[in-house]
Amino acid sequence: MSDPMIKRLSSNDFNVEKFVKELSQHCVGGLELQQKRVEIGALAEETNSLLKKNVFHNYMLFIETAKEISHLEGEMYQLSHLLTEQRSLLATLAHSSIVEGVAPLNTSVNNTTVEQDKETQTRKQLSDIMQKMEGCVPLLDSSRVFIMEGDLTELDPLDNKPLRRVHAYLLSDMLILACPIQGDQGRYQMNTCYDNLTSLAVVNIRHIAAAFKLLAFPDTRVFQAPSASVKKEWLDKFEEIKKSSKEQNSSLPKPAQADSSGNPFEDEDEEEEEEEEESRASAVSPSPFIPEWLLEVP
């Protein structure tokens, strides 16, 4: 095998079509082409054998490299854990006082003020939704919280073809779907309102990119998010709402279980019946026989 051919085949700017054209032009007859083909095949076999030998000779190096990489991963994990602990320690020191009676470094905000700010922000968000949407249901409720919103594409549940674009609003107790009004930017027409999220099943769809399914008997609707990350956010928010609802229901006090008989005076009735039976038995039982000689005793 000639060195010029090896250098040419191993060059970075090697072009297969150009190489074949040059061979067909310079070779005379089919025998010479067959010879070139045999040479190239032998070169390929030689290259494969060299690769196998290199892998065999460097096998231990590969293993050692893998061990070093694993060791470095462990050290990086330990460093990350230490940094997390240091950050939490610094945060604790920043919010606590070293000397008793001295105010902490960061003064805490009044909880009442924070709650009022949150309530004001929530009311503003709900008011904005009502202003943007025609036919919207009343949303102003002290217990209702805005979670997220976003554009979705509704798909046909049978053939998965796009039907229309919808804008979804997820609140703490309901899901609102609205359709954009043509010619009126930023305004929507209310389409559907699911006011019971506990009965609404959200199912992930794997064979359609960034799609999920809403099951609300008897309807089945399929929606596609702009990306997989947005879909994951929607699914996570639905799951958080359901978990929160379950925790609230479990924290409610359960009513005391009544007695199995349902009669609180059952014990007293049983005692009275037993006393009556004893008195009847004593009345019915004959008096004991007294002999005459015992009566004559003074």
Q: What is the pLDDT of residues 37-60, one digit of tens each?
A: 888 888 888 888 888 888 888 888
Res 34: pLDDT: 83
Banded model confidence at residue 134, pLDDT cuts 50, 70, 90: confident
pTM for the model stands at: 0.48
Banded model confidence at residue 123, pLDDT cuts 50, 70, 90: confident
Q: Which residues contact 33 (CB under 8 A, 6 or more apart)?
A: 23, 24, 27
Q: Which two tokens stand for residue 58?
A: 């460097």
Query: Residue 134's beta-bridge partner residues?
Result: 189
| pLDDT for residue 255 is more than 50 | yes
Higher pLDDT, 280 or 127: 127
Span of 65-69, 120-124, 179-183, 199-203 with lowest mean pLDDT: 120-124
Res 242: pLDDT: 87
Q: Which two tokens stand for residue 261?
A: 């008989």
| pLDDT for residue 33 is more than 90 | no
Banded model confidence at residue 224, pLDDT cuts 50, 70, 90: very high
What number is the average pLDDT over the span 229-253?
Answer: 85
Task: Quick: pLDDT tens for 206-221.
Answer: 888 899 999 887 888 9
Euclidean distance between CA atoms 173 and 144, whole angstroms: 7
Span of 8-12, 37-41, 130-134, 223-227 with lowest mean pLDDT: 8-12
